[in-house]
Amino acid sequence: MRRALDLAAVAADAGEVPVGAVITKGEEIIAEARNAMRGNLDPTAHAEMVAIRHAATRLGQPRLDGCTLWVTLEPCAMCAAAIAISRIDALRFAAEDPKGGGVVNGPRFFSQPTCHHRPDVLGGIGEDEAAAQLRSFFESRRA
């Protein structure tokens, strides 16, 4: 999670919502990304989506069996769907997202009967730091 939090800080410095994501397979980082929606002019360029794309390319396959996604904010419904479709084994996230989350908040994507793959989910890892990054980012935008 440390690397994901560092990537979130890079995103904030670039004017993006501070979210970072890392995908590991065993102890190895196979992909990492930060939010890039504004810079890429791409509404799907959430950190999770970009990391999943990079991991699939690196592994040469669309399924990310045996992989863990570490992300600083609870994934939205779009990202949760991509996590399920890519067959990521485990999801570890820092801060919950009561407004836009799709895992433990909102649609609770993995709990739906139409979801065919449910990763092992654990939240709250690095939550204080991730929440502070988000608060600081949005407070600076309101000032």
| Integer Cα distance of 126 and 13 in angstroms | 19
Side-chain-facing half-sphere of 75: CA atoms under 13 Å: 33
Q: Is 46 one of the annotated binding-site residues?
A: yes
| Integer Cα distance of 19 and 26 in angstroms | 22
Q: Which amino acid is present at 116?
A: H
Residue whose pair of structure tokens reads 């509404």 in the numeric block: 43
Is residue 28 among the annotated active site residues?
A: no
Q: Is 117 one of the annotated binding-site residues?
A: no
What tokens does 138 get?
Answer: 């949005």
Q: Is 76 one of the annotated binding-site residues?
A: yes
Catalytic residue among 16, 32, 48, 74: 48
> Annotated binding residues for Zn(2+), as ranges?
46, 76, 79
> Annotated binding residues, as ranges?
46, 76, 79
Question: Which residues does the annotation mark as catalytic?
Answer: 48
